[in-house]
Chain A
Amino acid sequence: MEKELSMYMDPAYYTNRELSWIKFNERVLSEARDKNLPLFERLKFLSITESNLDEFFMIRVASLKDMVHAGYTKKDLAGLTASEQLELILKQAHELVNQQYSTYSRSLLPALKQNGLEVVVSHEDLTKEQGDFADRYFEENVYPVLTPMAVDSSRPFPLIRNKSLNIGALIAKKDDPEKKVDFATVQVPSVLPRLVHLPDGKDGGKRVILLEEIIERNIGQLFLNYDVICADPYRIIRNADLTIDEDEAADLLNEIQKQLKMRKWGEVIRLGVQDSMDPRLLKILKKEFHIQGEDIFRVGGPLDLTFLMKMYGMEGFDHLKHPSYKPQPVPAMMNDDDIFTQIRKGDIFLHHPYMTFDPVVNFVKQAAKDPDVLAIKQTLYRVSGNSPIIAALAQAAENGKQVSVLVELKARFDEENNIIWAKMLEKAGCHVIYGLVGLKTHSKITLVVRREEDGIRRYVHLGTGNYNDSTAKLYTDCGLLTCSEPIGEDATAVFNMLSGYSEPRKWNKLSLAPLWLRNKFISLIRRETSNAKQGKPAHIIAKMNSLCDKEVIAALYEASAAGVKTELIIRGICCLKVGIPGISENISVRSLVGNFLEHARIFYFLNNGQEEIYMGSADWMPRNLDKRVEILFPVEDASIMKEIRHILDIQLADNVKAQILQPDGTYVKIDKRGKNLVCAQEYFCEEAMERAKEQMPAEVHSERVFVPAEPMD
């Protein structure tokens, strides 16, 4: 099988995943540039591009740097070595950053001013009155928390924290006849708001200035006996990932372990400065951080644009934001039955955030209280602070239920958060499993075992998104509540496996990574291929976050070459190329970047008319298929299948947010002229509201006629 696929594995057929990721961030940026969007939404998107880029450098660029240091020469699926990739990435990253700042300065700042919010760009521009305010603010709020540090022969260069914003200055002793110049630095305190409100203008317009400008204005206060020659902000990104990124091959890990010394822990991999920085100051930073060339980003505006998210939160600008959407009740659950009765009536499909996440929370809550429930088992990956699910699980354990929770500690950036909750659950008497050695548990599954009158019944929730009630308002995800016996059996087996027991002798419905899922996907794709070869209709629709698995892509090429119509909806990275003659002409790729983060994974296969639809937690990425515990589950209820097909169809019809991948690797929006505008996310919002409304109990009848009861026979 692999032999046949190898003809589709020519590196020329693949896009490097990092370059594809930058393309994704460009699409997010294009939202910030879209004048059709409410102004404050655009701020939000610009802020997202910045935090995305930080993470990208900390993890992906850092990883590539590790490879270069380790002398690792293996090429990626597009045939590039690590250093070749770095070169291309940095070139494109610089372009992206330039675009970020031109968007900020040329487009957003003027528009904000027009709408009554003035950002005072530089402290030199402050009026006398504003300047006095800023100085007072500095004295009262800022000065007490600053720790200026000078560098000289007796004081070494201080440790600059990752992602922190700092101001570097060149200073000289006032009475020093030689005018010897020293370097000094002070961190812009992260405990204070970055945006400082200045007094409103006479017209009532709001004015803000950035904290670092206020510090710069008062920098003399910090070095009283010195002359400050220049002061400029700077920011560094360090190689922060303490473990090798799971996406990399295991042999890389060995390589690096062998050469542990080679690895520079916390190495500075990116330096951000303003383009106005004094060259003498920059020279010192370059020397101290061992950084040069393309790793230095000089920008024409404030460093670290993530403050825009705070600006988005400012009060008084609601008219410049999307009206907030309230997740709607689930029609199948708008009755007085308890949740178990509702599920027994038939599988329930959940589409977040259009539908509320409450049923999922209630599922655990009710199970915790229900006297017939014997056990609750759940995997938790990223949990919100103050999660009601955690509270319910703890409650269940206290109520004497058997509660098993798999808490994934390896969830990136969330480790600490997870440990706190896990400890709390343990205290409450839950059986907590702290992940599996070598595997991240990414699957989202909850099992409730209930002892009912007619036997043991299992209720299962399977989802594409995390059990996080906060992100469920922002991420589009799908879920299924079911008490199907075969799925219940499999769910039990999943938890037995996660608890360290042997795998089951057979699976009924679920497919699991890392053991079985890859083969499952490949065989589903190849079934379409063989149908196409026999002249039968063949069609694949797949929606996911990222596609970068070589084998899966090769299988898709093979399918396309055989004539399988393949429509992919991929928000982020896509290493597949469209339009390669004879290889991928039947494949289309579209990306939706919208107000909500597209997060669901849905897979549709025509299967010669016997349609099959699957959903799950896994992308078509090597890490999902090989290094994680993931679950793929089939949707078998006919009406739910229809509903999901409808969701895919609407997403495929979107011509507002969708961007289409071109053969040259760029993404372009659809020409809307003469077309009915379809924005999938808005469509689903409205649809969910309508459906909920239909299901609302009709207004109490206004008939005022009393009906006398008939006498009983």
Chain B
Amino acid sequence: MQYTLFGAIDIGSSEMELKIFELSRGKGMREIDCIRSRLELGKDTYATGKISTEKLEELCLVLNDFISIMKSYKVDAYRAYTTSAIREAKNRTILLDYLEKKTGLKIEVLDNAEQRFLDYKSIAAQANEFNRIIEKGTAILDVGGGSVQVSLFDKDSLVATQNIRIGNLRIRERVAAMEHMYGHFEELVQEMTRSELQNFKKMYVKDREISNVILVGDYLGGLSKAASLSIEEFQKIYDGVIHAEPSAAAKQFDLPEESISLIVPTLIICSEFISAMGAESIWMPGLNLNDGNAYDYAQRNRIIRAGHNFDDDILASARNIAKRYQCSKSHVKIMENLGLQIFDRMKKVHGLGSRERLLLQIAVILHGCGKYISLSDPADCSYQIIMATEIIGLSRKEREIIAYAVKFNTMEFPYYEELSRETDLDRSEYLTVAKLTAILRVANACDRSHKQKFENVKVSLKEKELIIQVDTPEDIILEMGLFAEKAAFFEEVFSIRTSIHQKKRM
């Protein structure tokens, strides 16, 4: 049997973890080893904005241990991820360089949306259970050290996902400062989280019925042997932990005593969430980022085939953003069809992959969102909206690529030297922006009137010419007229001419 040994490292805000997985087509994901070491990096970051030298040295020690453990397993590959504790540290560039020099480990800083997407993937990896649960309205609460991610599913599609900065470590540190003056920890945390969750509910849940809640986060898995719980069972665990001495709670639930101080805020947040959503049943699969990391690796390397289409989730959340900004659905539909056809026909020319195809699709979906704010300056408004809105599964840079493509859809395209003054996109990312912009412009030009004249189109590439053949009885003079300008840019980027041919109906 062919299998891959994979090391997943998570440098979290309160703990570092190495998991060794055996990945194979036959047995799927099998966890071989799990090594955890407590180190509250987030305590430094959230309080001072920096990670102290002492913590950094300790981090190096543990990482070097992790490396030797991975070596002893002779792992075939690894991916080391770090999240908000380092992402939010002001000195992150310096310390990442230091870590890399000291350990030789390549550490990637995940954006929140990427991190949450991996967490979410870890859950979805439990395909059967997951698919059954999301048939009904489901909310996922992913509790991290710095923030929580709330995601909504309706009829097995992702409808919304939001990040709220009420992570367990952040809350603990913030409340600890007040606790001695204002007393009750539980009430303080409840108050802090309640208003945030109510806002989320008002904006996204509305009158949707949420029957299931999925809880994800460190330590939650250890609290209950069964993954599925009723509200009463959860309440019992809640009471057992919150209203007991830490040592007694640790004993009862077989938990490390030092983790109780984080479990307490975690449970309060969860409990508030459950009552805000009005859910009937709870699922705590006890998975974390490393599971998602390994699953994602296995899926990308075609070791495991996913039962769930994750790109659809990303698209779904993009469509929900579009909906919020009242983008024209029918216009988007035409453009998507056209844009993707162009993309697919041009594969050999542009050399982009499926990920960029997804970015194009999202760019199409969101290209008009700025009109919600200003009809005179939609391009820049769209850019600002996209840059300010997290899209689950996309990194910040990917979002930036989309935002620029959308912006330059209608604005003048700047050259690299000029653009690089305002962004840290590198050359290849810049080229992606250029190529996506070119396709977007052509697609957009074809439905200038928003009258869906280009419903039936066929795109074909012949030598040096891309022919868009449209089958419509309508008059397309407007489109034809404006097309030349867009085609010029297309030609500049791809060295391919484009033309519209109307199939005349007899």
Chain A interface (Cβ within 8 Å of chain B)? 374-375, 401-402, 449, 451, 453-456, 492-493, 496, 500-507, 515-516, 519
Contact = CB atoms under 8 A, between A and B. Distances in A.
A503 B250 CA distance: 12
Given A454-B1, A455-B1, A455-B3, A502 B38 contact: yes
Contacts of B15: 502
Nearest to A493: B34
A515 B257 CA distance: 11
Contacts of A402: 68-69, 71-72
Given A374-B73, A516-B254, A501 B35 contact: yes
B254 A506 contact: yes
Nearest to B32: A456
A402 B3 CA distance: 21
B36 A501 contact: yes
B22 interface: yes
Given A501-B36, A502-B256, A374 B72 contact: yes
B68 A455 contact: no
Given A455-B27, A506-B222, A374 B1 contact: no
Contacts of B221: 505-506
Given A374-B72, A402-B72, A456-B22, A503 B1 contact: no
Of the listed residues B34, B71, B251, B286, the one surrounded by the most CB atoms of chain A closer than 10 A to its CB is B34
Contacts of A506: 221-222, 225, 254
Contacts, number: 60
Contact of B286 (A449, A505, A519): A505
Contact of A496 (B3, B33, B73): B33
A632 to B, nearest CB: 15
B30 interface: yes
A496 B34 contact: yes
Across the A-B interface, give the 6 residue pairs with the lowest CB-CB distance, nearest first: A402-B72, A502-B36, A505-B222, A454-B1, A501-B35, A456-B32
Contact of B24 (A455, A493, A503): A455
B37 interface: yes
11 contacts: A402-B71, A449-B73, A454-B1, A455-B22, A456-B32, A492-B32, A496-B34, A500-B37, A501-B37, A505-B222, A506-B221
B269 interface: no
B74 interface: yes
Given A505-B222, A506-B222, A453 B1 contact: yes
A192 to B, nearest CB: 51
Contacts of B35: 496, 501
Nearest to B69: A402
B286 A451 contact: no
Contacts of B38: 502
B39 to A, nearest CB: 10
Contacts of A503: 256
A375 B72 contact: yes
Interface residues of B, number: 29
B150 interface: no
A561 B74 CA distance: 57
Nearest to B221: A505
A374 B69 CA distance: 10
Of the listed residues A454, A493, A502, the one surrounded by the most CB atoms of chain B closer than 10 A to its CB is A502
Given A456-B5, A502-B36, A507-B254, 4 more contacts: A455-B1, A455-B22, A456-B22, A492-B33
Contacts of B30: 455-456
B492 to A, nearest CB: 53
Which DSSP category, helix, strand, loop or mixed, fits chain B's interface?
A: mixed
Interface of B: 1, 3, 5, 15, 22, 24, 27, 30, 32-38, 68-69, 71-74, 219, 221-222, 225, 251, 254, 256, 286
Nearest to B286: A505
A295 B419 CA distance: 94
Contacts of B254: 506-507, 515-516
Contacts of A374: 72-74
Nearest to A500: B37
Contacts of A449: 72-73
A116 to B, nearest CB: 61
Nearest to B219: A505
Nearest to A375: B72
Nearest to A453: B1
A502 B254 CA distance: 12
Contacts of B222: 505-506
A507 B222 CA distance: 10
Contacts of A505: 34, 219, 221-222, 286
A493 B225 CA distance: 18
A375 B73 CA distance: 8
Nearest to A402: B72
Nearest to A507: B254
Given A374-B72, A402-B72, A455-B1, A502 B37 contact: yes
Nearest to A503: B256
A505 B38 CA distance: 13
Of the listed residues B3, B38, B68, the one surrounded by the most CB atoms of chain A closer than 10 A to its CB is B3
Nearest to B73: A374
A501 to B, nearest CB: 5
Contacts of B37: 500-502
Contacts of A519: 251
B36 to A, nearest CB: 4
A376 B5 CA distance: 18
A368 B225 CA distance: 38
A398 to B, nearest CB: 15
A497 to B, nearest CB: 10
A402 B221 CA distance: 30
Nearest to B222: A505
B24 A504 contact: no
Nearest to A496: B35
Contact of B34 (A456, A500, A504): A504
Contacts of A504: 34
Contacts of B219: 505
Contacts of B74: 374, 451
A401 B72 CA distance: 7
A258 B230 CA distance: 53
Contacts of A492: 32-33
A188 B3 CA distance: 69
A113 B121 CA distance: 85
A515 B27 CA distance: 33
A342 to B, nearest CB: 22
B32 to A, nearest CB: 5
A375 B15 CA distance: 25
B255 to A, nearest CB: 9
B150 to A, nearest CB: 24
